[in-house]
Amino acid sequence: MIARKLLVLAGLAATSLLAACTDASDMGHDMGNVTQERLLAADDDPDNWLSHGRTWNEDRFSPLDQINAENVDRLGLAYTVEFDTNRGQEATPIVVDGVMYVSTAWDKVLALNAATGEVLWRYDAEVDGAHGAYACCDVVNRGVAVWEGKVFIGTLDGRLIALDAATGEELWDVVTVDQSQPYTITGAPRVVRDKVIIGNSGAELGVRGYVSAYDTDSGDLVWRFYTVPGNPADGPDGAASDAVFAQFAGDTWHGQWWELGGGGTVWDSIVYDAELDQLLVGVGNGSPWNYRVRSNGQGDNLFLTSILALDPDTGAYKWHYQENPGETWDYTATQQMTLTHMQVHGEDVPVVMQAPKNGFFYIVDRRDGSLVSAEPYARQNWAERIDMETGRPVELPAARFAHAPYLVTPSGLGAHAFHPMSYSPQTGLVYIPAMQTPSAYEDNAGYTRHIGRWNTGVNFLTPPAGLVPGDTPEARRAYVTANTKGYLLAWDPVAQQARWSIERDWPWNGGTLATGGNLVFQGLPDGTFNAYNAEDGTPLWSFQTERGIVAGGISYAVDGVQYVAIMAGYGGSMGMASQSDWMRRPPPNGMLFVFRLDGDASYTPLPPQEPAPYASTDETFDAATLATGQANWFAFCTICHNGPVNPNLLRSPVATDANAWKAVVIDGILADRGMISFAPWMSAGDAEAIRAYVLSEAARRAAEEERE
């Protein structure tokens, strides 16, 4: 009751302030008024989007229904806000009493009048561009947290920063990682009571994962929980995780896992379970991926790919559920966790739902981490089933690619990645941006370790003959491409089966938003932002933003008007590493698009643009040079330069100039843009060999396109 009254007062205050003021300093003391009480009552506060998943249940369902399946064709543009970078936009904005707080790529924050798009303040964390080289999956940021007049953001260089919600002024700035190691932060912080919780990324490059809690006022570290053990020779960490590693989790590791950190980064999902006063933490893959390299192929390797429950005040271990014991494919349990209740054998059970990378939809009892059910929501070929007695997968042994390559589905891209899903309590369906992503894995146990670059212990092959249909490498590549797809999947979590789905020929699609208007919104990498009937998937509305969309949308209301907002800007791992025909132009700057019924703001379409020509040369190169170049290309270059997000080297004039190439690759003249010197990992001769391979590959693709 008290919480309700506070809400009404806060709403009134915000409304009158917005009407009276255009100046952020005048909006003043009430900005960023998110509290424990307000979040506990967020279900009854549909106008606001107070935390990452809207409420602490993180269902990304807006109860608002002014925009609905009957009138969504009247949806029009309310306003746009253009950003200053064309890198990926993955953030979920936060809306508090008419003010939107949003983060962009490169860790910039904007506070906006949520009804007009007027910028109230801007903040730039001034991340050194060279740190972008440590970002496995683009220089993205998935959002801020707002709490008691403060805005919190984690940064690519591992800092956690508190800003004044009214002015954007920095209140404190703490370093949460060892910055000499390849850690990054891309995930959104979460706040519980007086602590802000933050994880990190970097398991591809060689780090040890953990999650930390900082005091919201002082920025002091309160507790830290490591998700994997350190080098036993170093002794205990003095961390909240020491006890559980001494009790049983430490014994699940073998070999010299600490040399590459072990992985287990907490890079996305962290959920506060208010009912049981516990923090649920989604833990990532192993570092390196290959289990035989990491742990001699022995042990479960706790707490990789686990949902981990911790005490929010102390970080003490409560329980865990591990999805992939002995993880070896880059499967993660970092995907979104959504809390709800479910009838299980006649009992009302508090559960957490997750659609992680490995393709199974898990429902786990939040009281003790026991498995309620798990069924595949996407094509997968690594497990026969999940055993309900033990909660462990019954694996297909060949899937571990120990003695022969295996076309594993899903690949490390996952059957679902960071792209938010949503759950509508109205339809009872979960809307998953699902993927089918086969990839041929080959054991590479003897690989050369490159700390700070990708370390997987896996060769990603063009499938050899016999593994997939096709007489030629081209035919087998085409088979893999034809089997790479995306789905907007409406999943019934009780029946554990699909209700409806829409197939796409590209997997890397945007997150979803479900609303009380019987709608599901999803953006696509072709730039469209779309609305569907939540019951049956009928397409109802579409708007072309001309920017690939990977983020999830939000909905909120100001002064009785409902808005739907989406961050548009293509990127993320697949944005850097792969592309389709319609992505050949460099992406334009990212943009926030906000819609309302009968919105009539103008949008000027981009001028047409042809892709740059392929680099061409009269130079010739010998076969040995090309082979060295190809190997280094795949080891160092493709992960960032095979998609539309970063410069396409095959179309870059730099490739035709040996001196310019060396200046970039070896001398690092573009380090401030994230293209650091690769001298620590390769010789000038190796770099030149890559140039040779790039030119030969550019010629091959140009000839191929000419034929088509």
Of 477, 350, 475, 501, the C-alpha closest to 415 is 501
CB 333, min distance to Ca ion, A: 11
φ, ψ at 478 (rounded to 5°): -65, -35
Size of the site for Ca ion (CB under 5 A): 2
The Cα 145–Cα 12 span in angstroms is 23
CB 137, min distance to Ca ion, A: 8
| Residue from 55, 62, 285, 328 in contact with Ca ion (CB under 5 A) | 285
Residues 147-186 that bind Ca ion (CB under 5 A): none
The Cα 205–Cα 577 span in angstroms is 16
Of 356 and 405, the one with the shorter C-beta distance to Ca ion is 356
**Segment interacting with Ca ion (CB under 5 A) among 48-56, 284-292, 369-377, 423-431:** 284-292
Pairing between β-strand 539-544 and β-strand 528-533 as defined by DSSP bridges? antiparallel
What order do you get walking across the sheet with 221-226 strand by strand? Answer: 190-192, 195-198, 210-215, 221-226
**Segment interacting with Ca ion (CB under 5 A) among 10-18, 144-152, 278-286, 379-387:** 278-286
The Cα 465–Cα 479 span in angstroms is 12
Of 203 and 213, the one with the shorter C-beta distance to Ca ion is 203
CB 389, min distance to Ca ion, A: 30
**Segment interacting with Ca ion (CB under 5 A) among 23-31, 95-103, 325-333, 483-491:** 325-333
CB 401, min distance to Ca ion, A: 17
- For residue 64, CA distances in Å to 6, 43, 167, 555, 565 come to 20, 11, 29, 8, 13
Of 98 and 282, the one with the shorter C-beta distance to Ca ion is 282
Place of tokens 């990839």: 439
**Core vs surface per residue 306-337: b (16+ CB within 10 A) or e:** bbbbbebeebbbbbbbbbbbbbbbbbbbbbbb
DSSP string across 282-323? E---EESS-HHHHHTT-S--TTTTEEEEE-TTT--EEEEEES
The Cα 617–Cα 613 span in angstroms is 12
CB 353, min distance to Ca ion, A: 21
Of 695, 692, 661, 665, the C-alpha closest to 678 is 665
Of 141 and 201, the one with the shorter C-beta distance to Ca ion is 201
Of 285 and 354, the one with the shorter C-beta distance to Ca ion is 285
**Segment interacting with Ca ion (CB under 5 A) among 46-54, 285-293, 512-520, 553-561:** 285-293
CA-CA-CA-CA torsion for 113, 118, 121, 127, nearest 10 degrees?
110
User: H helices within 233-385, ranges in order?
Assistant: 242-247, 291-295
CB 145, min distance to Ca ion, A: 23
**Segment interacting with Ca ion (CB under 5 A) among 168-176, 324-332, 520-528, 552-560:** 324-332
CB 72, min distance to Ca ion, A: 36
**Segment interacting with Ca ion (CB under 5 A) among 73-81, 302-310, 326-334, 481-489:** 326-334
The Cα 604–Cα 598 span in angstroms is 18
**Segment interacting with Ca ion (CB under 5 A) among 282-290, 300-308, 482-490, 583-591:** 282-290
Of 285 and 305, the one with the shorter C-beta distance to Ca ion is 285
CB 289, min distance to Ca ion, A: 8
Of 44, 11, 49, the C-alpha closest to 554 is 49
- Residue 265 touches Ca ion, criterion: CB under 5 A: no
Which residues fall within 8 angstroms of residue 98, CB to CB, at 6 or more apart?
14, 15, 17, 18, 113, 114, 115, 558, 559
Of 456 and 484, the one with the shorter C-beta distance to Ca ion is 456
The Cα 218–Cα 339 span in angstroms is 30
CB 267, min distance to Ca ion, A: 8
CB 543, min distance to Ca ion, A: 32
The neighbouring-strand residues paired with 580 are none
- For residue 246, CA distances in Å to 182, 239, 264 come to 27, 12, 18
DSSP string across 67-97? S-TTTGGGEEEEEEEE-S--S---PPPEEET
Q: Which helix (H) or strand (E) holds 693?
A: helix 684-707
Of 324 and 373, the one with the shorter C-beta distance to Ca ion is 324
DSSP string across 125-185? ----GGGGGG-TT-S-----EEETTEEEEE-TTSEEEEEETTT--EEEEEE-S-TTS--B-
Provide the mask over 113-152, with x wherever binding to Ca ion is found by CB under 5 A and - wherever it is not: ----------------------------------------
Pairing between β-strand 360-365 and β-strand 347-354 as defined by DSSP bridges? antiparallel
The Cα 133–Cα 454 span in angstroms is 11
End-to-end CA separation in angstroms for the chain = 68
- For residue 498, CA distances in Å to 338, 383, 490, 565, 689 come to 18, 19, 6, 27, 49
Cβ atoms within 10 Å, residue 688: 19
Of 188 and 266, the one with the shorter C-beta distance to Ca ion is 266
* Contact in structure between 201 and 136 (CB atoms under 8 Å): yes
Of 285 and 340, the one with the shorter C-beta distance to Ca ion is 285
Q: Which helix (H) or strand (E) holds 225?
A: strand 221-226
| Residue from 58, 268, 273, 330 in contact with Ca ion (CB under 5 A) | 330
- Residue 439 touches Ca ion, criterion: CB under 5 A: no
Of 229 and 263, the one with the shorter C-beta distance to Ca ion is 263
CB 332, min distance to Ca ion, A: 6
> Which tokens sit at 706?
């000419």
**Segment interacting with Ca ion (CB under 5 A) among 96-104, 281-289, 595-603, 646-654:** 281-289
Of 357 and 366, the one with the shorter C-beta distance to Ca ion is 357
CB 265, min distance to Ca ion, A: 8
The residues assigned a catalytic role are 330
Which residues fall within 8 angstroms of residue 46, CB to CB, at 6 or more apart?
62, 63, 64, 516, 557
CB 266, min distance to Ca ion, A: 12
Sign of the C-alpha dihedral computed for residues 411, 417, 422 and 423 taken in this order = positive
Of 62 and 285, the one with the shorter C-beta distance to Ca ion is 285
φ, ψ at 592 (rounded to 5°): -90, 125
User: Rule CB under 5 A: which residues touch Ca ion?
Assistant: 285, 330
